[in-house]
Chains A and B, each alone.
Chain A
Amino acid sequence: MTALLKLDNATIRFDGLVAVNGVDLEIEKGEILALIGPNGAGKSTIFNLITGIYPPTEGGISFNGKSIAGLPPYVIAGGGIGRTFQNIRLFKELTVLENVLIGAHTRGRWDLTGALLKLLPQVRREEGRLLKLAIHCLTQVGLAHKAYEQACNLPYGEQRRLEIARALAIEPVLILLDEPAAGMNPQEKRTLLEMVRNIRAAGVTVFLVEHDMKFVMGLSDRIAVLDYGVKIAEGRPEEVRANPAVIEAYLGKGTMR
């Protein structure tokens, strides 16, 4: 089986700092892979490499067998990689529905001419299709009843879910979730867990960064561990949990127990 996304010796340096150092990683189609590691390990930077916010200094990134390293973010998104952000980045002034409609941008094609010729049946059909898609995505995250609320007025947990809905609206093959459970209460986390499983069941491959161990262990098929920009472990949740290098990275060296 060929990997859906493949990092091959991916490296990025910011002046002297090596934020991500020679990381090899493969994500199989249909799996849920989690990336964990202490703060500042370079997890979000890996997301930024994959989505094209930074080009890698060295190494390659390929998606569906094609190299995407160095492509601009909008091309990568158009290719089917959706993402959320660690520090929520919604279009705050706009409504919940508009946020998701913007997410569906690549699913439409009428631009300025479409705007001015709104009554053209093709344009109306497309708008209707995008609206249906947006409502479907909002329903998936349980926010359809808030469609006309302003995004910045949603509570924190719902803002995170809205970001997921927006990423789903590009109808991605792969979705990258950057700390989706951060700041959520246990109840919200359980709902989120179910939601991510449903997203995978709908055929979307999930790659997430998360700090909440219980959440990660209960959800992921595989886990990769990053420390100081280097991948130190990879495997099924129980393997990673027992890995001495992982314990050391999180708790420090010394006699255990």
Chain B
Amino acid sequence: MLHAFVNSIDPYFLQILVNIGIGIILALGLNIITGLTGQLSLGHAAFMSVGAFTGALLTLKTGTPFYLNLLLSGLFSAAVAALIGWPILRLTGDYLAICTLGFAEIVKVVFLNLEITNKALGLTVPTPTSALPMPVIVLMVAILAIVASVLIQNSRFGRALKAIRDDEIAAESVGINIARYKVQSFAVSAFMAGVGGCLYAHFLGYINPSDFGFLKSIDMLSMVVLGGLGSIPGAVFGASILSAAPEFLRFMSQYRMLVYGALLVFLMVFRPNGLLGGVNLTDLVLRKLGIRRHGATRNQEWSQ
């Protein structure tokens, strides 16, 4: 029944929807290391690539169930991130960004030359014969990613990450092991990128190492920055707009990337913190509904 329903939707529209869903997963993943922990990664497409190829190869070579592949792609990506993160997360700012950039290039070149990834020809991936249609799976994973992000942000773990972002010296002075939390954050971030990559591979049916180059990393970063670094609704919003924009701007044919670029420039000039940066959505909604009048009401709960 679900299959019939999904099949009745316009495939072009469905494709945009799936792109948005995958975009949300990728953006939320990047948001954890760059938005929440404040460590700029310019090579996040590499983890997407690792996840995509892991998932594709598992499907092609072992025939393990798709859901397991999805999980394993994420875990393998996370393991790679932990391995590479241990040495490079000691660096800060520009140095870290350049390192992640270099790492992504290495992953791309290695995959372009490995026999198992079929070199520059890429891999054709069969659509999984799972119980649920792909668009539904993507949607579910995207929702899971949102829930996980919210849970992480409001936990002891998330607070430690935010502390590192705001002031590393102060964070250490209250007993936070910076190196450990950075690596964990990087691994969680890569896990989500890996899962996103695996979904991408199985939905599209074809992957090529060159798909996951520098431009893909920048795409992901643009989504997070557009919505507002560190903001979960922002990442969802940014991913939705930027995943759909190239399609909606298609009528402009050659000019669409020009407009897309100009949109980004204008946004950064007029809203440097991103569309939803510094906006507390729950607070805003509650206030609009008249449930919470202003910040002070919450403050009063604690004063004696």
Give A contacts to B, CB under 8 Å. Answer: 51, 53, 72-75, 77-78, 82-83, 85, 89-94, 97-98, 101-103, 105-106, 108, 110-112, 114-116, 118, 126-127, 130, 135, 138-139, 144-149, 166-167, 169-170
CA distance A147 to B157 in the complex (A): 20
Are A77 and B175 in touch, CB under 8 angstroms?
A: yes
**Given known contacts A115-B158, A146-B299, is B152 in contact with A89 (CB within 8 Å)?**
no
B167 at the interface (CB under 8 A from A): yes
Smallest CB separation, B157 vs chain A (Å): 4
**Neighbouring A residues of B162 by C-beta, 8 Å:** 91, 93-94, 98, 102
Chain A's nearest CB lies how many Å from the CB of B38? 10
Sample of 14 further A-B pairs with CB below 8 A, known A112-B152, A112-B157, A148-B298: A51-B173, A53-B172, A72-B172, A74-B177, A89-B173, A91-B162, A94-B163, A102-B159, A102-B171, A105-B160, A115-B151, A145-B299, A147-B299, A148-B295
Interface centre among A83, A89, A102, A170 (most CB of B within 10 A): A102
Can you name 6 A-B pairs with beta carbons within 8 Å? Answer: A89-B169, A94-B166, A112-B188, A116-B152, A118-B155, A144-B302
| Minimal beta-carbon separation of B135 from chain A (angstroms) | 25
> Which residues does chain B contribute within 8 Å of A90, judged by CB atoms?
166-167, 170
B174 CB within 8 Å of chain A: yes
Mark contacts of B135-156 with chain A using CB atoms, 8 A cut-off: 1 yes-contact digit, 0 otherwise: 0000000000000100110111
Contact of A103 among B166, B169, B174, B177 (CB under 8 A): B174
**Contact between B302 and A83 (Cβ–Cβ < 8 Å)?**
no
A147 to chain B, nearest CB (A): 5
- What is the bound-complex CA distance between A89 and B174, given in angstroms? 12
B152 close to A108 (CB less than 8 A): no
B130 in contact (CB, < 8 A): no
Query: B254 at interface (Cβ–Cβ under 8 A)?
Result: no
Docked-complex contact B163 and A115, CB < 8 angstroms: no
Q: Chain A residues with Cβ under 8 A from B302's Cβ?
A: 97, 135, 138, 144-145, 147
* Cβ-based interface call for B129 (8 A): no
Interface positions of B from 274 to 304, Cβ below 8 Å from A: 295, 298-300, 302-304
Bound form: Cα–Cα A91–B170 in Å:
8
Point out which of A75, A92, A93 has the most chain B C-beta atoms below 10 A from its C-beta. Answer: A93
Q: Check B156 against A114 for contact (C-beta < 8 Å).
A: yes
Complex CA–CA separation, A116 to B145 (angstroms): 11
**B residues 63-111 touching A (CB-CB < 8 Å):** none
Q: Which of A94, A139, A166 contacts B174 (CB 8 A)?
A: A166
Determine if B176 is an interface residue (Cβ-Cβ < 8 Å): yes
Determine the residue in chain B with the shortest Cβ distance to A72.
Answer: B172
In the complex, the 9 A-B pairs of residues with the closest C-beta atoms, listed nearest first: A115-B155, A145-B303, A106-B175, A77-B175, A91-B166, A73-B172, A89-B170, A78-B175, A115-B157
Q: How far is the CB of B182 from chain A (nearest CB, A)?
A: 12
What is the bound-complex CA distance between A76 and B88, given in angstroms?
A: 25
* Residues of B160-210 contacting chain A, CB below 8 A: 160, 162-163, 165-167, 169-178, 184, 188
Closest to A100 in B: B174
